[in-house]
Amino acid sequence: MQLQLKPLNLTATDRRPLLISGPCSAESEEQVLTTAHMLSDSGINIFRAGVWKPRTKPGCFEGHGEKALPWMQQVKAETGMKVATEVATPQHVEAALKAGIDILWIGARTTVNPFAVQELADSLRGTDIPILIKNPINPDLELWIGAIERLNRAGIQRLGVIHRGFSSYDRKLYRYQPMWQIPIELRRRIPDIPIICDPSHMGGRRDLIAPLSQQAMDLGMDGLIIESHCDPDNAWSDAAQQLTPSDLSAMLGSLIIRNETQSTDLIALLRRQIDDIDNQIIEIIARRMRICREIGQYKLEHDMTIFHPQRYSEMIERHEQQGDTLGVDKDFIREIFSIIHHESVREQIEQRNE
Ligand code: PEP
Ligand code: MN
């Protein structure tokens, strides 16, 4: 489908990088206003705060809802910042529009659901409010593009997307995997839609925000949405990933913003993908080692030997075949797995000696 897009026009210049910051959740009038003033003083023009919070488990703080909207209005009145919040239902849209919220975003848990996105699109018909669409929580580019199309068909033309990473099973370095190839492909498919990176949810950890932000800038992304809180350690949600406004300001000051022609250089893009894949390889090896230790414990408890030649030969043979199918040299596969297997055996021996 041919999209009809207009510039977001969020700030006077929409200069790169577009910066949006504020706490994960609007917790209290004081927390909202204190944080907003600190951010505004350091030059941030767009304030974010979650009023309705989608939470994985019930019983966590689910946002104050409509009660928090006047605090956002106060931010506008006192600082002149534009304000943004997440909407997940037509009721949220109605309340947010009535309160004069300037920018709405659709959360990762909503983008996955075409019914929910369509309801939101229908409720937004006839407005000209900028909407930022977070990637669906699962790595599905078509679903993400589908959401963009639904909003656009409803007449919303000031559209942007937020790349916040993708969920995966098991523990990882990042809370949500960046999978940079997905926003890169989105840029190729829809060159005119601004892409804003959310290193806070992606990293899930304060110390990962700077490197992820730099990476996003090097890939030519248009902006950053970063969680910032006046007292991050005591935040009611996402405490580990929020920066104080002054740490945010220092972090932003250290970013190197290269011009786009240089940053979208093909080799740089490809290297980023390689780095991403290497990172995934290390995480997968770590996962394999954890399972090996569990097996080691089982063998120990059941008085079994560590090395099982039959199992080893079968495994190598299977991997060689799979490598062959995928066009990877068999000898190379054999070598890699013999090293991996050797390390697993070494670990299990060490475990026995402990
Ligand atoms: C958020 O931005 O506060 C949020 C809930 O993000 P996501 O939808 O990416 O999890
Ligand atoms: Mn959050």
Q: Which of 132, 134, 161 to mutate to test the pocket of ligand 1 (most atoms within 8 A of CB)?
A: 134
The tens digit of pLDDT for each residue in 116-136 reads 999 999 999 999 999 999 999
In whole angstroms, what is the distance from residue 96 CA to residue 321 CA? 57
Of ligand 1's atoms, which has the minimum distance to the CA of residue 200? 2
* pLDDT reported for residue 354: 85
**Which two structure tokens, joined as six digits, stand for 236?**
């009611």
pLDDT in tens, 89-99: 999 999 999 99
Residue whose CA is closest, atom 10 of ligand 1? 108
**Ranges 30-39, 123-132, 338-347: which has the least confidence:** 338-347
Mean of the per-residue pLDDT values for the chain? Answer: 94
* 160 phi/psi in degrees, rounded to 5: -140, 170
Going by CATH, does the domain composed of 265-353 fall within 1.20.1300.10? no
CATH no., domain 18-254? 3.20.20.70
Nearest 10 degrees: CA dihedral of 205, 207, 211, 217?
70
Count CB neighbours of 324 within 10 A: 12
- Cα 96 to Cα 81: distance, rounded to the nearest angstrom: 16
Q: For the chain, where do the domains classified as CATH 3.20.20.70 start and end?
A: 18-254
Domain limits, CATH 1.20.59.10, in the chain: 265-353
Using CB atoms within 10 A of its CB, is residue 178 exposed (0-12), middle (13-18) or buried (19+)? buried
The protein residue with its alpha carbon nearest to ligand 1, atom 4, reads: 107
Please write the tens of the pLDDT for every residue from 250-272.
999 999 998 755 555 677 778 87
The answer to whether residue 333 scores a pLDDT higher than 90 is: yes
Which pair of tokens denotes residue 140?
């599905």
pLDDT of residue 352: 86
What gap in Å lies between CA 146 and CA 117, rounded to an integer?
Answer: 9
More confident residue, 306 or 228: 228
* Residue 134 contacts residue 108 (beta carbons within 8 Å): yes
Over residues 139-183, the pLDDT tens digits come to 999 999 999 999 999 999 999 999 999 998 876 789 999 999 899
Three-class secondary structure of residue 21 per DSSP: strand
Question: What six digits make up the tokens of 101?
Answer: 């919220």
* Site residues for ligand 1, CB cut-off 6 Å: 24, 50, 54, 86, 107-109, 134, 164, 201
Q: What's the predicted TM-score (pTM) here?
A: 0.81
